[in-house]
Structure 1
Amino acid sequence: MSPYRFLTYNEMFDYLTTSYDNPTLLNYINHKNEYESISVIEFKEKVICLCAALQKLGIKKSTKVAIFSSSSPFWLIFDFALQQLGAISVPIFANISTKNLNFELEDSNCEFIFIDDIERIDDIKKQMTVITHNFCIKKDNYYNLDEILVMGKEICDRLEYIENKPNEDDIFSIIYTSGNTGTPKGVVLTHKNIISQLKDINEVIHLNEKETILSLLPLAHIFERAVMSYYLSRGVSIYFVDDITNVANLMKSVRPTMMTVVPRLLEKIFNKIKTNISDKPIVSRVIGSLAFRFALLEDIDKNSFLFKLFDKIVYSKFREIFGGRIKWVVSGGAPLEKNIYQFFLNIGIPLYQGYGMTEFSPVISTNYPGANRVGSSGKAMPTAEVKIEDDELLVKGPSLMKGYLNNEELTKKAIDTNGWFHTGDVASIDEDGYIYIQSRKKDIFKTSTGEYVNAIPIEQNLSKNKYIEFAVVISHNQKYTTALLFVDHERYEQQKSSNLTIEEYYNQSAIHKSIQEHIDKLNKTVNKWEKVIRYKLITKLATIEGGELTPSMKVCREAIEKKYEKEIQSMYRSLK
């Protein structure tokens, strides 16, 4: 494996386009519902032509340009073209709320925007030059990607294009946090930040160019942006998911060898397996249930007759869900429950949990082949330094951001005078260097009686009930713990009766009995002050536009507590 000698994203582009000749580098589903490929050569040509066209439109060094698009090869082509000019890309989630969209455009002072969804055009309030993809608008300052690519080729043929050569301390991108703690923060990342990540990832993963990737997470999220950059640096074949609801089908057709996922996908697969077993005929159901419970054990003897039997008749079928060729499944973005982690490892899915933050470009630590400890977030990346101070994880290294855009005060608060970034996560590090994240500091609440409640594990447990999509624990400055339980709309749609509304469906005594029994079981495992005394079912769909969720599908606790203030207050009225 040749060493990485590049220092900037532009040099990485040169490395990719001169080291590999993969004919299926980037693959997307076209209008015929078939995968169409873009080779390394075609990728390079499109980037250079687009770069020339964008320069003609007025984009130059330090121009800030928003990429407001779903993930695809064209997202990458546009981003790499900006990098060639020294412009600064500002990725924006395709499903962002209108409020946060316009905040990010104004805060970053973007002058141009690339957009692929005509339905979101009217949401853009800022006056700017618009470059569209998959649709055309005939107005001043509106251009279509396909048209300007043609213009760019003519400019390149006349050799009138001037490339910018950034240095490693120049700004690579401004990436906004998802906003689950309030207003999104613009994280300023340099070329050095992102390249240090690629080199670190390469040390622990070691992909060869024959691998097949299925990409399903948004490129506006730094997690997928970083691993995508690594994929490109290895010249592998990347297949984009067209719709998140199509992931199950594409895993079987693409048969990937690597995927990066968020825990929610693994939780859905885990629960789907469990449900499917319960729907089997009696003999298959008994065998499946035994195999399922066996796979939850921590210390399985994989040489035992029982394991080999289950592996042949049950686990092999589970692995086919992922396509049957998977070598790496990397989970990040949120904590993964230990029993789910253990389950997938035991059935033969090579799962590795990592941990990071946008401010660190983002990977701080990860498990990897040869160093995989269930329940941990792995070991620190090769160039990352970590330590625990007052139970909080601190980190520093070349991947650490330049700072928060337009917020010097917040930057100074986050990064101390010795260069340590304060993550806000309560954690521990064992003697072998594995990092264990206990909770976000903001998710540990103090009751009115002075006791501390760690909300995350309680919420994860509550969400295991088949009727609950997610839970929000309430206990801060309260005399006891309660919970808002957001119901599973998918279950209602699958099982609803024509004469029952969702409110009526979830008001059935059998459902409340199931939920209460689940809570009673949970309450036996927690401290007295952590017991969930009351709950409220929330049947209204949680949405990004409504403020309950971030574009990366994280829960906005603050927004939910404000929105459902009356429901919360009702849970603290005097108990009869």
Structure 2
Amino acid sequence: MREQNTPPLAEPASGGLADSVYDTAELTPQLVQLARRTDGGDRWRPVTAARFRSEVLGLAKGLLARGVRFGDRVALMSRTRYEWTLFDYALWSIGAIPVPIYPTAAAEQVRWILAETGAVACVVEDEDHAMTIGAVCDALPELTGIWQLDHGCVRSLTEDGAGIPESLVHRQRLAVTPETIATVIYTSGTTGRPKGCLLSHGNFAAQADNVLAGWKSVLFEADGQPATLLFLPLAHVYGRMLQVAALRGGIRLAHLAELRAEALLPALASYRPTVLFAVPYVFERLYDATRIAAEQAGRGELFEQAMAVAVDWATGNERRALGHGSGPGATVRMRHLAYDRLVYQRIRALFGGRVRHVMCGGSALSRELGLFFAGAGMTVYEGYGLTETTAAIIANPADSPKFGTVGRPIPGAEVAIADDGEVWVRGGGVFAGYLNHPRCTTEALHDGWLATGDLGRLDEDGYLTIVGRKKEVIVTSSGKNLAPAALEERVRAHPLVSHCLVVGDNRPYIAALITLDPRALSHWQQMHRRAAMDEWAMLTDEELHLEIQRAVAAANTSVSRAESIRAFRLLPGDFTVEHGLLTPSLKLRRKAIAEHFAADIEALYTP
């Protein structure tokens, strides 16, 4: 196996994750650790280290008063909000184990998680979530409490704990070690029933501390205290790692419950973060929105020219950082300066105006889009990780990102490529195993190495590129193998395309199911002076099909004839989490899509 490693930069942690809250409050009580939005407006109320410690301690006492003990599991079912972080650290303060549940989870998924973890209580956000729990609680004898955030459960729990001595909390907290399980996070379940990953306090500390050390120049570049806005779901390991890293590193943290552009853009404008942690979806949608706005204002050609210059400028800088060139030429530098005033400043303003660096993961970001944002003044550091690795274990280095790759091992981690192309990783973030699934644990872990199930390759500079999932490899009836993810990503690069699912297993050729982005489709109709089409009319529109055919043809240039998409079918509507066709982290549920659209797939192979 070919291997690549990076030496650790952080010392191994001692104790548990909650210790940082109490230590920071003791050393710098007036440090602003968090910010809370006031009534959904434009103002953010600071929360000092001393105040946060006090709130965590009060809630921890309340949990003890309600019978939660060391090692108990308590489920959290909510959107991203301040109270989730408060509950996490209160539970960690008494050695209890939070179990995140996506707020969009179906009742059967909730029942499965609560039953398998033996949760003794569940924190929910609102009445709908409470009803979901209520529908399954008869089959959960160990579940003794349901606490609702919107009904003031934090206040009532804190009041209940008023008579509990603080020393009892500290006795529990000091019993926590790095090996103690911190949380059970369930995988997204793209290939079957989700499994609970046992992640320790040491897993989170190792990842957070090494990322803080390795990307110090990026995270702490701005004058004053760095700040980030957390809009990723805290039910996902990526959001949880960001929360831990921010509180351990002194990065001011604020929460946003919605990822919709209508909610995200005003929050970014008012909070003005210095660094962001995001998923490619955010960049794809903001890029599309900016392009559409430019075209509607009659500046489409200006935007296209600015994009080309941004890509050229970033490519020159990338080559220089990797030792392959001298940087952008004089003409590109002059044009880049001009477009910075005309275009790039406006794009940065969408993110609040202060963001210059973004850590990105969760799925693949196209190389061209990464180069564009870097050229616009916001470098995107793409990374790679799994729930089983406590978020990113591979990431692009702070001083030399290579766009289109997921980078090199973070400090303290290793990566290897097995003979069959599978990516194996090792490091302090690799989990202890799956809850109640010893066979799956044995299959995944090998002497400290985790077999990720992903296919990848290391280039000459030691940067990793993910090719696809082993279980998703398509084998046509002629014996041709294809990992579909890269081809799907290239089709999705077209502005009109929302999702693409490549099919062809045991079929004579490769084909695809394609959905369209409603906003982009509406813009396309306006630009082409077309009447509005309903979902079914678009399926027979020849000009629209020709436009998507161009996207497919462009994607096919990257593969051989045998691997190319020979036929495609536009679908009415889109793949959504609500319909069970996407995971909560927006990955395709391939089996569910194939079953749902079996007739459409069959039609692709019918003469």
Q: TM-score, normalising length from structure 1?
A: 0.92
Which secondary structure does the structure 2 equivalent of 1:71 belong to? coil
Give the AA of the match of 2:396: N
Q: Distance in 2 between matches of 1:387 and 1:160?
A: 46
Identity among equivalent pairs (%): 26
How far off its partner does 1:161 sit? 5.1
Match of 2:33 among 25, 49, 71: 25
Q: Distance in 2 between matches of 1:152 and 1:244?
A: 35
Q: Distance in 1 between matches of 2:478 and 2:276?
A: 46
How far off its partner does 1:317 sit? 2.1
Of residues 246-255 and 80-89 in structure 1, the stretch that sits farther from structure 2 once superposed is 246-255
The equivalent residue for 1:335 is 364
Which secondary structure does the structure 1 equivalent of 2:397 belong to? coil
List aligned pairs for 1:388-403, cutoff 5 A. 388-390=417-419, 391-403=421-433
Match of 1:247 among 264, 267, 291: 264
Aligned: 1:572 with 2:605: yes
Match of 1:301 among 313, 317, 328: 328
The equivalent residue for 2:514 is 485
List aligned pairs for 1:56-455, cutoff 5 A. 56-124=65-133, 125-126=136-137, 127=140, 128-136=143-151, 144-156=153-165, 163-164=171-172, 165-206=175-216, 207-208=219-220, 210-245=225-260, 246-281=263-298, 284-297=299-312, 298-299=315-316, 301=328, 303=330, 304-390=333-419, 391-416=421-446, 418-455=447-484
The equivalent residue for 2:585 is 552
**8 Å contact 1:67–1:113 — kept in the other structure?**
yes
Alignment CA distance shift 1:22-1:366 (3 Å): farther
Q: Distance in 2 between matches of 1:557 and 1:247?
A: 29
Alignment CA distance shift 1:532-1:32 (3 Å): closer
Unaligned runs of 5+ in 2: 1-8, 317-326
Q: TM-score, normalising length from structure 2?
A: 0.87
Give the AA of the match of 2:279: V
Number of residue pairs aligned between Structure 1 and Structure 2: 564
The equivalent residue for 1:139 is none
**8 Å contact 2:15–2:176 — kept in the other structure?**
no
How far off its partner does 1:32 sit? 5.3
How far off its partner does 1:352 sit? 0.6
Q: Distance in 2 between matches of 1:232 and 1:86?
A: 18
How far off its partner does 1:239 sit? 1.8
How far off its partner does 1:25 sit? 2.3
Structure 1, residues 337-392: CA drift from partner, whole Å, max 9, x if none? 11111111112112111111111112211113213111221110111122111122
Q: Distance in 1 between matches of 2:556 and 2:207?
A: 42
How far off its partner does 1:507 sit? 3.5
Q: Distance in 2 between matches of 1:35 and 1:520?
A: 48
**8 Å contact 1:396–1:420 — kept in the other structure?**
yes
The equivalent residue for 1:11 is 19
List aligned pairs for 1:449-468, cutoff 5 A. 449-468=478-497
How far off its partner does 1:429 sit? 2.2
**8 Å contact 1:28–1:241 — kept in the other structure?**
no
Aligned: 1:526 with 2:540: no
Structure 1, residues 241-283: CA drift from partner, whole Å, max 9, x if none? 23212112222222110110001111112222222232233xx
**8 Å contact 1:133–1:146 — kept in the other structure?**
no
Match of 2:55 among 20, 25, 46: 46
Give the AA of the match of 2:87: F
Give the AA of the match of 2:16: T
Q: Distance in 2 between matches of 1:293 and 1:5?
A: 46
Of residues 166-175 and 125-134 in structure 1, the stretch that sits farther from structure 2 once superposed is 125-134
Alignment CA distance shift 1:32-1:7 (3 Å): closer
RMSD over aligned Cα atoms: 2.4
Q: Distance in 1 between matches of 2:537 and 2:179?
A: 58
Structure with the larger RCO, 1 or 2 (CA within 8 Å, 6+ apart): 2
How far off its partner does 1:28 sit? 2.9
**8 Å contact 1:221–1:552 — kept in the other structure?**
yes
